[in-house]
């Protein structure tokens, strides 16, 4: 289904490109109300779900990296990255036939406060591809220029945030966490001015564009803005579209199917947060405009992985004082955000009570899935609530006694044998690698850690599960390697010089996050001391 954009294009349409043989099926723009204005200036957009836009050309596009799996997902030839037109299209310097660039209108709560209209200020969708699997996938450029939602910004993105988004999108997919994907990372050859630390010292940084891929980028804020403005017709059209396209098994549009959809979104969101908690991922900016209605991880900004296990840790410098989006708060914030989504659907229901009932799918799912997740992480064949909840609670306590790397701790814990006669020796030997200050293991907290290890060993001894089988099961859910912020920064340092070699090297390792990779052991080590306070290696700002 091809729809012609009425917006004046700033870039040419090319007929010879890897996308030439890919069918576009642009149902979003053909089904929903468009902004009647094609002005590029920042403005409030009413009565519309999107605005027609055009990418703004860049000086010297260069493909820094691509994900081969995503090429295949889209049905593009495996050698597409060698085609000269690909970098031009993925930088926003050209369009393929069938592409209809647009920016979505949405609002949202940011740090708990209603922010009004937000929208795709530095992102624009190119269109929807009919993939070989039969799935429709949306292609979106992030950093391709100004849109009506850019407010006072330029619609551009810098290399550091673009490398992080490209790598983390793919890393999360291979970890088994629901996520948007990333097709490409393109350097623009232009400079972008950003105040990285929000301290009044802006500086020039290399620009970049990421091409993101997902079945949809619809987020809670798409519905919120229409409800807030009492634009009920557009809201109904958007909800009907969402239901028909992404939840067709819930029945034709009606109040009942709307409620069922809210319940499914709540369930998917709960599963998503459990997956985050399993691998120690902290999103960092769980605003309602960064929450996917499909239950995907979306919008990779100042994210991070728990290194020192601290449930109050947030990777976001903007959140440092309130810690609203810290690791331990993610389940509660997710539910709070779902309530805001339900408020956005309320005008179509008219009664809050059934929406409240639908939202209960979140705690029901989370309370069921979270113990199952911990059972798998600990290698238990069954979950005995009375005993294992106490074991889990005590584990969270001992993880905070001495600075403990969460990823390494769980990976090494699998190596504890039921035949070990001295868990103290296991702590001093195998498990020692998980501690940032191993000398502290000789301090006052040693007895507590040893006592927990002894209880855990007794627990796994009581079950009828051989050590080798338990170890295999634990290693299937406890990653060997994750995308630590300092690793991403090493890739950024090289990519800013136009060199994607470290990006590709990391991407290759992150494709097999649960496999032992002794040849790449350097990527599975604790954060080095030099990275503890270096910019980009621990906490980050929201700047693009």
Catalytic residue annotation: 289
Could you give the count of Cα atoms lying within 13 Å of 466 in the half-sphere of its Cβ?
A: 3
For residues 275 and 478, the answer to whether their CB atoms sit within 8 Å is: no
Residue 281 sits at φ, ψ, to 5 deg, of -90, 140
Residue 182 sits at φ, ψ, to 5 deg, of -130, 125
Give Cα 142 distance to the centre of its chain.
14
Show the tokens assigned to 310: 């601290």
Q: Please name the residues in contact with 456: beta carbons below 8 A apart, sequence gap of 6 or more.
A: 378, 391, 395, 413, 416
Which of these, 382, 362, 363, 361, lies nearest to 372 by C-alpha position? Answer: 382
Q: How far apart are CA 280 and CA 181, in angstroms?
A: 20
Helices assigned H by DSSP within 382-533: 385-399, 406-413, 423-428, 446-462, 467-475, 485-495, 501-510
CB atoms under 10 Å from CB of 487, counted, come to 26
Helices assigned H by DSSP within 176-320: 220-228, 232-246, 255-279
Could you give the count of Cα atoms lying within 13 Å of 12 in the half-sphere of its Cβ?
A: 6
- SS3 assignment, position 284: coil
Q: How far apart are CA 203 and CA 200, in angstroms?
A: 10
Give Cα 32 distance to the centre of its chain.
26
Which of these, 264, 261, 265, 281, lies nearest to 273 by C-alpha position? Answer: 281
Q: How far apart are CA 379 and CA 415, in angstroms?
A: 11
**What is the C-alpha radius of gyration for the chain, rounded to an integer number of angstroms?**
24
DSSP β-ladder status, 13-14 and 95-96: parallel
CB atoms under 10 Å from CB of 532, counted, come to 13
List the end-to-end C-alpha distance of the chain, in Å, as a whole number: 34
Which of these, 353, 355, 214, 339, lies nearest to 288 by C-alpha position? Answer: 339
């Amino acid at each position: 289904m091809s729809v012609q954009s009425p917006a004046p294009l700033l870039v040419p349409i090319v007929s010879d490109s890897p996308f030439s043989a890919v069918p576009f099926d642009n149902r979003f723009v053909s089904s929903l109300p468009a902004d009647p204005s094609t002005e590029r200036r920042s403005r409030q957009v009413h009565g519309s779900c999107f605005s027609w836009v055009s990418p703004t050309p860049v000086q010297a596009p260069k493909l820094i990296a691509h994900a081969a799996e995503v090429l295949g997902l889209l049905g593009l030839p495996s050698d597409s990255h060698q085609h000269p037109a690909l970098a031009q299209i993925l930088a926003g310097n050209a369009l393929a036939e069938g592409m209809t660039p647009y920016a979505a209108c949405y609002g949202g709560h940011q740090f708990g406060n209603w922010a009004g209209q937000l929208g795709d200020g530095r992102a624009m969708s190119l269109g929807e591809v009919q993939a070989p699997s039969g799935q429709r996938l949306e292609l979106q450029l992030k950093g391709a220029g100004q849109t009506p939602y850019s407010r006072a910004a330029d619609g551009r993105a810098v290399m550091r945030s673009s490398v992080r988004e490209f790598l983390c999108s793919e890393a999360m997919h291979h970890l088994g966490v629901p996520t948007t994907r990333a097709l490409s990372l393109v350097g623009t050859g232009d400079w972008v001015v950003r105040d990285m630390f929000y301290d009044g010292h802006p500086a020039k940084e290399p620009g970049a564009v990421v091409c993101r891929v997902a079945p949809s980028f619809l987020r809670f804020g798409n519905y919120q803005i229409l409800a807030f403005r009492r634009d009920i017709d557009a809201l109904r059209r958007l909800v009907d579209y969402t239901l028909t396209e992404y939840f067709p098994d819930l029945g034709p549009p009606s109040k009942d199917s709307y409620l069922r959809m809210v319940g499914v979104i709540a369930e998917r969101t709960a599963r998503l947060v459990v997956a985050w908690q399993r691998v120690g991922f902290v999103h960092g900016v769980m605003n309602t405009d960064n929450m996917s209605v499909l239950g995907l991880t979306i919008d990779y900004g100042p994210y991070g992985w728990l290194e020192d296990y601290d449930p109050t840790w947030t990777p976001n410098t903007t959140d440092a004082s309130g810690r609203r989006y810290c690791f331990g708060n993610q389940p509660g914030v997710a539910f709070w955000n779902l309530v805001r989504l339900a408020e956005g659907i309320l005008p179509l229901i008219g009664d809050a009570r059934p929406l409240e009932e639908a939202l209960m799918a979140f705690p029901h799912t989370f309370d069921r899935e979270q113990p199952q997740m911990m059972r798998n992480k600990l290698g238990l064949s069954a979950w005995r609530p009375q005993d294992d909840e106490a074991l889990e609670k005590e584990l969270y306590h001992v993880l905070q006694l001495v600075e403990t790397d969460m990823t390494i701790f769980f990976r090494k814990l699998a190596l504890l044998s039921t035949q070990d006669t001295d868990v103290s020796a296991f702590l001093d030997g195998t498990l020692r690698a998980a501690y940032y200050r191993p000398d502290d293991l000789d301090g006052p907290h040693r007895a507590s850690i040893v006592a927990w290890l002894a209880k855990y060993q007794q627990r796994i001894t009581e079950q009828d599960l051989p050590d080798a089988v338990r170890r295999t099961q634990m290693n299937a859910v406890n990653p060997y390697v994750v995308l630590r912020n300092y690793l991403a920064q090493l890739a950024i340092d090289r990519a800013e010089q136009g060199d994607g070699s470290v990006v590709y090297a990391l991407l290759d390792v992150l494709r097999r996050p649960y496999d032992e990779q002794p040849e790449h052991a350097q990527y599975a080590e604790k954060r080095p001391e030099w990275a503890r306070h270096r910019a980009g290696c621990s906490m980050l700002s929201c700047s693009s």
